[in-house]
Structure 1
């Protein structure tokens, strides 16, 4: 939309930098003001959003996880979280993680997505307050907090204040730059065409899709309204277009993501488009109602009155529209979810198994390290489930399985290695962000944990599978008493790995302590198994020596797996400084 304004403002290359035209407009100066102001505006919004996510990201995640018990509470929570972190896309990404982890159904998430649209209107409400005169003060104070303070939290609040100041300062630059257009008839003629609702919706949708920020589009509309270029019905149509255009962000975010992410994006699109379709015929009635509830300035006339009243009216219409849509559709959350699941069905099981990829790692959360690290913990659980399956299947395969069974388990480790590589790459990206000391420590602990988990998979692949093949090559038959002894040790080690995975994924201190406290139990069972093997060594059985060697190696490799499970558990802070070695 602002690009359209710039094209109008710079009609020919020869006019660039001209001192004046028939309207007395300096096109070069205007173009610099428009694009420079837009750059400051968008950069300020990004700065403010990043600071907000750094300050409140982790707490907002917890609130979102706990308070989405029903569709109404979900809508309220979605509005609150999105308003605080200033990003409906981050809210949607969090929802996808909860759905993938089984913590929330798609139907429950629909209410939160509806509420997120309400929360996204808070930025427009802030922009509608005419505080551009205080913009430089906000930038100065925020800059001082950001660069003079050594306290991280104060720096984050400083970044937030400076970002907000840049938003208002950019608005002021754009507004001043557009002022000469009040007397430029070609521009006024183009703006007259914008009064067609469908044209306004199309232009705003295209512009929002281009810059991927509905709040920025609404802010620019308010800037234009502050100069008297946009009346209320036109502003409402442009806000409708921004609501549709923001769906492009959801679509782009869903590309290459799991089915849950695509469905959440589809729900977002259906909700926003359906709302606009319903309301487009009632723009006049909505404008009348908003004029009635908004502040008035009867002492002014003409474009001056429009400039004084319309910015607040547009912001109110934007909020009212999204609140009304949420109230209208909140009873249809289950239906929205069913349509999304029907349009985006689950992959056939065989196809899903061929695609080995991380379920929870999301690039959109890298700018919020606390949330990104939380996703790594979820992915550790995903990776751990595959390792646990390998561990559960390996003992029966060693004792009595065939070569094909062993090859199947060996292929499972390829998936573990792939997930490990993706997690490490994601952690490397997080490490390039601005991290607190606590976040840096957590990143290192998570890296150690996933490395330990990958080592467990490698022991199964490179050691235990080899022992299974040796048993087949030597024609060894494991006796029933020995099977019972080895199975007891295997069961204990399996419990330790499962507890270690959950300790890391859920930051579960109790599970971590349970793993480290299993040392005596594992040692007792292993020693008992070794004694049993020593007694069996003198038994008059065929292939006794090869069998003994294989059985002792199995015990040693199981003990080695417990060692890595214990190391994993020790990456979880338990408040106990003692080391269990």
Structure 2
């Protein structure tokens, strides 16, 4: 069981206990409590809550694993069409039941320049609609099937061999735990139906502002608006709250869930903070619009929901209210989106005003490079986390390519002064880039190492190891440049040798070919382009032909009567062999990429 699950359940228990202390237990001293066993009631409530939240976590993780990288692919294909953004955001969030994961994905795409802030606004609005799916499922109250779901789900994931089938088993298992937790909570709270002090305490929920505040605080701590709405539906099923109170509590859950986005944006880029601020603005403005119209929402949800006139009193409330609250919650978020979608540009403008472009620091020192795509919130979605890690590996690759592009042709002491000065400046620049490569290399390995703590399928485990190997190989190329090619260049700059025009042409062609192969390899990783990866492998024949030319020319030069011919031979061969080693590692990375794609 993940540490995050323990953390969420603990927070939920703590908040539930505080809720009990601050409201229902206050009334314990106000009336006759002889018929209520508080210890067993509290244990039942907390135990049911733990089962409910763990079931949600289990179902959400299974959904994310089953959906895999298709979620990211779907987001990547978004156009500037806002309606398409809303539908995509709703679909993805309904699938993974985590608007925070959707928001983090958006931040990554915006930072990469693959999506505009205006585009992301539609997805954020759609994400709010997607989170209402759990409430709709819970409102059906198919609690009698809870044990069957738990048993069938456990059996499926226990005996299944295919990873996808195991994910579906976990989804069913988690859904069963959700309904089982609802059962336990309902049974624990049923004695309170006739307990007047509790009924009076719950009547305070008729104050919409208080209900919104309590739900927002609870959701902020539990970090799941779906969990809050589910618990509200459980209370409604017992007839403890009115429809208007349930709607207000659901509104508060929408505000509380913004805390997750704000936490995710701390220490991140300006775009990340702007995305989080759009999420907050959308939810708060939506609540402000509909708060005076709760009675209208109530009437609409009643009209859309089934009625049970054959029942009376609390039994009728328990049968009708859950569906009415779930429908009101969905209606609230859908109408919010319809009303505010035309003003998406205004949200973007306001977000940019709230989080403006920061002024450049006066210091001339360059800031330490930081990861751009490695969001810890995505670690529980391994496929997407590895996609993000691959984007970060692309950043390392671009810097290694810059090192090769910056590497000057082999230059000697006898070259012109401008050539020597340019070579020395280029070597210093390469050292600076290599420091960035080392920093990113450490961040990626740490991220992929943390990913190993999550339950990975065989295919995911193989991909994770391939990404680690790619990262290491790219860092090895950077080391080859700084620890081998640069020292050879420095030796050449201090040597009284003359490189012939014929040899220079061949060496320059070989260096250009290796650099181009490295660029193809990095682009293959960044774009998932198998064709470029195969081009890297096909470059071997041309490089071997160039190497043969070098060897032939060396054989000719060795017979010349030149005192420095052996030193020249040594430097040129070391340079050639080092370029060949760079290509060998590049080819290894290309093969890893092709193997990963074929898996």
Calculate the TM-score normalised by the size of structure 1: 0.92
Deviation at residue 67 of structure 1 after TM alignment = 4.1
- 1:96 aligns with 107
Alignment deviations for residues 319-348 of structure 1 (CA, whole Å, 9 cap, x no partner): 111111111121222332333334334556
- 2:143 aligns with 132
Q: After superposing the two structures, state which structure 1 stretch, 355-364 or 216-225, moved more.
A: 355-364
- 2:536 aligns with 515
1:391-406 alignment, distance < 5 Å? 391-395=404-408, 400=420, 401=422, 403-406=424-427
1:98 and 1:207 mapped to 2: Cα distance? 30
1:86-235 alignment, distance < 5 Å? 86-235=97-246
Matching of residue 307 in structure 1 with residue 318 in structure 2: yes
Preserved contact between residue 121 and residue 215 of structure 1 (Cα < 8 Å): yes
Deviation at residue 36 of structure 1 after TM alignment = 0.5
Among 319, 326, 332, the residue aligned to 1:321: 332
1:458 and 1:354 mapped to 2: Cα distance? 22
Among 61, 66, 87, the residue aligned to 1:50: 61
Alignment deviations for residues 429-469 of structure 1 (CA, whole Å, 9 cap, x no partner): 22232222222222222222111111110011111221232
Alignment deviations for residues 386-435 of structure 1 (CA, whole Å, 9 cap, x no partner): 11111111125966335454223112111111111111122222223222
What is the DSSP-based 3-state SS (H/G/I as helix, E as strand, rest coil) of the residue aligned with 2:60? helix
Matching of residue 496 in structure 1 with residue 510 in structure 2: no
- 1:357 aligns with 370
Preserved contact between residue 358 and residue 379 of structure 1 (Cα < 8 Å): yes
2:401 and 2:249 mapped to 1: Cα distance? 53
Q: Residues 538 and 261 of structure 1: is their aligned pair in 2 closer, same or farther, counting only changes over 3 Å?
A: farther
1:319-398 alignment, distance < 5 Å? 319-346=330-357, 353-395=366-408
Among 438, 444, 453, the residue aligned to 1:432: 453
1:533 and 1:343 mapped to 2: Cα distance? 66
1:24 and 1:179 mapped to 2: Cα distance? 12
Matching of residue 418 in structure 1 with residue 432 in structure 2: no
Deviation at residue 9 of structure 1 after TM alignment = 4.2
1:409 and 1:147 mapped to 2: Cα distance? 53
1:454 and 1:552 mapped to 2: Cα distance? 23
Preserved contact between residue 42 and residue 167 of structure 1 (Cα < 8 Å): yes
2:268 and 2:560 mapped to 1: Cα distance? 58
Calculate the TM-score normalised by the size of structure 2: 0.89
Deviation at residue 301 of structure 1 after TM alignment = 3.3
Deviation at residue 21 of structure 1 after TM alignment = 5.1
What is the DSSP-based 3-state SS (H/G/I as helix, E as strand, rest coil) of the residue aligned with 1:150? coil
- 1:33 aligns with 44
- 1:243 aligns with 254
Listed as ranges, the gaps of 5+ residues in structure 1 are none
What is the DSSP-based 3-state SS (H/G/I as helix, E as strand, rest coil) of the residue aligned with 1:474? coil
Q: After superposing the two structures, state which structure 1 stretch, 297-306 or 141-150, moved more.
A: 297-306
Q: After superposing the two structures, state which structure 1 stretch, 549-558 or 167-176, moved more.
A: 549-558
Listed as ranges, the gaps of 5+ residues in structure 2 are 1-14, 412-418
1:545 and 1:441 mapped to 2: Cα distance? 48
1:510 and 1:310 mapped to 2: Cα distance? 58
Alignment deviations for residues 475-498 of structure 1 (CA, whole Å, 9 cap, x no partner): 667666554433322211111011
- 2:584 aligns with 563
